[in-house]
Structures are given as C-alpha cells and as structure tokens.
Amino acid sequence: MALKQSQYIWLDGEFVAWSEAKVHVLSHSLHYANSAFEGLRAYPTDKGLAIFRLQDHTKRLLNTCKMSLLKCPYDEKTLNEAQVEALRKNSFAPKTSVYIRPIVFVGYGVMGVYHLNSPISAAIAAWEWGAYLGDEGLENGIRVKISSWTRNSVKSMMGKAKVAANYLNSQMAKCEAIEAGYDEALLLDSEGFVAEGSGECFFIVRDGVLITPPSDNSLESITQNTVIEIAAALGVRVERRRITRDEVYIADEAFFTGTAAEITPVREVDSRTIGEGKRGALTKRLQEAYFDVVYGRDSTFARFLTFIKD
C-alpha cells in the first residue's frame, strides 16, 4: 500500500517538511530495532477530525519506552499536544480517516548494542490511510493462515511493548501468509494457544459468546479493549480465555481487531470455512457499533475522542 504523503512531520519538537524528516543511516534504532511506536487513527466526525483514544495510545507509547529502556525526552502532555498539532498542521481530504504514527527511537552517535549513551529522538507523522485489510475484507471477511512461526516468547521478548524488534516475527508471519495466498497470519504462542495476528488481536464467537485470549502473549490492544466495552454495553457475554487452533476452526464467527485493521471479519482459516464463510451477524453488529463510536455517533463513548479543532 503506497504511503499517502502529507505536508509536515513533527520531529523533536519542530514541524519539518515531509521530505526533510530524515535520520542518519547510522541511527542506532535502524541497526538494533529498539524503537517504540504507536498507531492511532483520527476519524472525520460531525465536529471535524477526532483522534481515537489518544491518551491511551500515548500512555502505551511511554510504557513501551519504559520497558525497552528508552528515555523519552518528551512527556505525555507534550506528546499528546504534538499529535493534535500534527493533524492541525496538515491538510487532509474531507471524510478520510487519518493514521498517526508516533515513534521514539535511538538516534545517531553511538554504535554497539549498549544504547544507554545514545541520543533519543521522537517523531510524529500523520497521513490518510484507508482500511488496512481492504474495504472488501471489512465487508466480506479475510482468509487467514495459522502461522508456522510462533509468536515471540514472553521468555525472550516483551509482547506488551510496541517495539520495532517484535515486528520481525510479525513480518515473517505476514509474508508467509501472503505468499501462501492468504490475507493475514494468526500466530500461536509457544504452548500452542492463540496469541495474536501479525498486527491485530483475535476474537471468536461461539454460541453467542465473544471469546478473546488474555494479553499474556500479545499487545494490550486498545481496539480489543474497545470491543469488550462495546460488547458489555450491548449485553453480549465476553470471555477472556485461551483459545486453541481446533476451536478456531469450529467457531461460529471470528474477527481481528486493531487500530489499523479496525474490526475485520475472518471467513476462512487454513481452508476451513468459518461459520457461513462471510461476516457473521455479531461481528457485523460490533463493527457497526465500533464505527459509531469512532465516528462520534455514539455519545456513550464520547470520552474516547479528542477533537482537533480549536
């Protein structure tokens, strides 16, 4: 998916032209993959663009920094304001959703694995980005392959950190799935239970109950949490428990959740049709409710929105 360029990127406290937001090739993070990042979306509402769960994403960014021993030079308030400013400063086509990518990274000046003497930088970019797994996928569901890759073990990596280093595992799983003709990968943990997708969390539906794994082996997903809250508001029972591969095959419905993926139905896993092979009824209900929340049409969840107009 080609990147849709906007005009300005926030880089260490200043807005610079998109094409000027550059780093040195010897920047530490480029070599050793310790960089904390986030992915947020802002949706066009009746009152202009609104960032969805900005404060929660910024908290997770700073938690990732803490876990990964990155001394972020900017506090929560500064980062929140800079993200709002990044949307004000750029112009976007009306009625499009915007993706925001803050990143805290180890800069240029020191080489070798030990990074604590290296300078730390931060950047925030924002650009127009449509459905991550395609509009078709949102509507009709996608085809998923259980990955031959195991999700990073909690014994050697930190799944609760949204740190670049975790994403080699995601990339290998995603490429394997795409090369095999599927749309997305579902990774199991080292015990064989469902962990997460390459960039999403995972839900199944059985007998009207929504089931999603605990965050033992996955990111603490903000969309997963939102879906759980929406389900509670709709009176849908939610269980957080481990799911096995065979249970996925016989689920009535399945879907992925993520800021980029939103709620993407899964219609097939490893050549087993899930339910009726299309977006399930509960998935559709949750999807509609989710879009009502993010587009500001549901006042119950208005607290999740940060409007960017003055």
**Active-site residue numbers?**
162
State the nearest-atom distance from the C-beta of 57 to ligand PMP, in Å. Answer: 7
Query: Which C-beta is closer to ligand PMP: that of 253 or that of 262?
Result: 262
Find the largest Cα–Cα distance for the chain.
57
Select 8 or 261, whichever has its Cβ closest to ligand PMP: 261
Compute the half-sphere exposure of residue 71: CA atoms within 13 Å on the CB side of its CA.
Answer: 6
Would you count residue 218 as binding ligand PMP (CB under 6 A)? yes
Kindly tell me which of 39 and 119 has the beta carbon lying closer to ligand PMP. 39
Beta-sheet pairing, 142-150 with 262-269: parallel
User: Least distance to ligand PMP from the beta carbon of 185, Å?
Assistant: 11
DSSP 244: B
Selected range binding ligand PMP among 100-108, 110-118, 198-206, 276-284, rule: CB under 6 A: 198-206
The single residue among 200, 203, 275, 287 that binds ligand PMP, judged by CB under 6 A, is 200
Q: Residue 249's closest CA among 227, 276, 225, 274?
A: 274
Window 136-195: residues binding ligand PMP (CB under 6 A): 162, 170
127 touches 4 (CB < 8 A): yes
Q: Which residue, among 28, 43, 6, has the nearest Cα to 124 in the 3D structure?
A: 6
With respect to ligand PMP, which residue has the nearer C-beta, 53 or 118? 53
Among 102, 107, 199, 275, binds ligand PMP (CB under 6 A): 199
64 binds ligand PMP, rule: CB under 6 A: no
* CA–CA distance, 76 with 276 (Å, rounded to integer): 45
By CB under 6 A, what part of segment 109-138 binds ligand PMP? Answer: none
Angle at 37 between CA 307 and CA 174, to 5 degrees: 110
Q: Where are the alpha helices (DSSP H) in the chain?
A: 28-32, 54-67, 76-89, 135-140, 167-179, 222-234, 245-249, 281-294
Q: Which residue of 183, 189, 196, 262 would you call a contact of ligand PMP, by CB under 6 A?
A: 196
Which residues in 221-280 contact ligand PMP (CB under 6 A)?
A: 221-224, 257-259
- Positions touching ligand PMP (CB under 6 A) are 39, 162, 170, 196, 199-201, 218-219, 221-224, 257-259
